[in-house]
Amino acid sequence: MAGIYVHIPFCKKLCFYCDFYHLISTEDNTAFIDALLLEASLRQDYLENETVSTIYFGGGTPSAFSIKELGTILNEIKKLFRVEENCEITIELNPDDINSVYLEGLRELNFNRVSLGIQSWRDSDLKMLNRRHDSAHAAQALKETFDAGFENVSIDLIYGIPGMSAEEWALNLDQAFSYDIKHLSAYHLTLEPGTVFGKMLEKGLIAEIDEDESNMLFNILIEKAESAGFIQYEISNFGKPGYFSIHNSNYWKQVNYLGLGPSAHSFNGYSRQWNVRDVKGYIKLINTGKSFFEKEELDTKARFNEYIMTSLRTMWGIDLEYIEETFEKEGYDYVVNTAGKFKDYGMMIQNKNSLVLTNQGKMISDNIISEFMMVVNS
Ligand SMILES: C[S@@+](CC[C@H](N)C(=O)[O-])C[C@H]1O[C@@H](n2cnc3c(N)ncnc32)[C@H](O)[C@@H]1O
Ligand code: SF4
């Protein structure tokens, strides 16, 4: 049931908001691909021969790579790991990279799920975000994706962009749901330190939208998604029944995964590790047999915190039986006591054996989660 994540850290243009590890694409990807494949072979035992049920090519921009390059990586992974026959194989695509020939190539490689980075249907937003595509491009890319025979199609949208009104956000969602997409990831814009927007924030040239407006946009999202037949299975993720992302769900359900490539994270139940965030350094360290990652062994409290952080964001919530089995009576009592006030305030409800956030609770999920955190001994 394990997963594999492949990080392709190259982008053709840098978006002003993005803090994912990425740099401008290079002409020749050979040294990177060789290092990635070497990493895959060095870490062949990481998943302890578990079957792999999801592979996810993310970035950066995986669609900056040719079909041949993607095939080289995917085929090697299939050789090295026990990949299930009906494995979910996802690729993130930037709308302006793709055409019918490229999409056909992806189908031939057996990619069976795509995630298109539309971000907004408004050209003024796309310009502000420094995206390469415009809305006409996005519509064309989506049409070509369906025409190529992809059925399991997800799109990414960003809301809370300064200058976007509630009506415009609602129209953005209507346009998204007018297509036969099966999944939507909708993220509230965050102004990350170190990004262009982060620097603009420091200089007072841009500001976060206020909390009431954020909540209003979030409510519009929940209502529109629900009436279009989508289920909010995680705070930012909505799927039609049967189309939740297995890959993302696995992250939230503590399933083991191996992350390949610079900045990629891996998890095996007891430790978490993350590769260096530097392509050149990554290639050099791998090729010289040196350590290319940092690792944190997770003690009981850290494992508890991880579980709360991920489970509380999902529709499945905190599983109280799992808490009792894994963290014993002490963990169980702690969770039930902490949940008390949130239940009283209508922020959380207890179903038979689980604690889940209500829509009101989802609006302040980060605050609620932080109240559940156990202090980790260092
Ligand atoms: C790794 S990125 C992108 C994949 C692909 N390169 C693209 O741009 O479409 C995954 C998604 O995270 C979202 N994202 C990244 N940074 C964000 C930010 N600061 N605020 C909100 N959403 C963000 C965007 O919606 C983006 O599509
Ligand atoms: S959003 Fe996508 S294309 Fe833009 S910089 Fe981030 S990874 Fe690259």
Distance from residue 319's CA to the centre of ligand 1 (Å): 30
Task: Kindly state if the Cβ of 205 falls inside 6 Å of ligand 2.
Answer: no
| In the block, residue with structure tokens 């964001």 | 313
Mean pLDDT of the chain: 95
Closest atom of ligand 2 to 130 CA is 4
- pLDDT single digits (tens) 257-271: 999 999 999 999 889
Name the helix (H) or strand (E) containing 293: strand 293-297
CB 153 within 8 A of CB 146: yes
- pLDDT single digits (tens) 43-90: 999 999 999 999 999 999 999 999 999 999 999 999 999 999 999 999
Task: Kindly state if the Cβ of 18 falls inside 6 Å of ligand 2.
Answer: yes
Closest atom of ligand 1 to 60 CA is 6
Task: Kindly state if the Cβ of 117 falls inside 6 Å of ligand 2.
Answer: yes
Q: Pairing between strand 153-159 and 183-188?
A: parallel
Q: Which two tokens stand for residue 342?
A: 């949130």
Residues within a 6 A CB radius of ligand 1: 17-20, 58-59, 61, 92, 94, 117, 119, 156, 158, 187, 189-190, 192
Q: Pairing between strand 183-188 and 237-239?
A: antiparallel
Candidate of 20, 154, 206, 236 to mutate for ligand 1, largest count of ligand atoms within 8 Å of Cβ: 20
CB atoms within 10 A of CB 357: 23
Say which ligand is closest to the CA of 131.
2
Which one-letter amino acid corresponds to residue 282? Y
Predicted TM-score of the model (pTM): 0.95
Alpha helices in 203-348 (DSSP H): 211-227, 246-252, 279-287, 300-311, 320-344
The tens-digit pLDDT sequence of the chain (378 residues) is: 899 999 999 999 999 999 988 888 888 999 999 999 999 999 999 999 999 999 999 999 999 999 999 999 999 999 999 999 999 999 999 999 999 999 999 999 999 999 999 999 999 999 999 999 999 999 999 999 999 999 999 999 999 999 899 999 999 999 999 999 999 999 999 999 999 999 999 999 999 999 999 999 999 999 999 999 999 999 999 999 999 999 999 988 889 999 999 999 999 988 999 999 999 999 999 999 999 999 999 999 999 999 999 999 999 999 999 999 999 999 999 999 999 999 999 999 999 899 999 999 999 999 999 999 987 554
Residues forming a β-bridge with 55: 4, 89
Q: Which two tokens stand for residue 239?
A: 């799927």
Which among 99, 92, 32 is positioned nearest to 60, based on CA atoms? Answer: 92
Distance from residue 185's CA to the centre of ligand 1 (Å): 10
Cα-only R_g, the chain: 21
Query: What are the C-alpha distances in Å from 254 to residues 157, 270, 306?
Result: 26, 10, 9
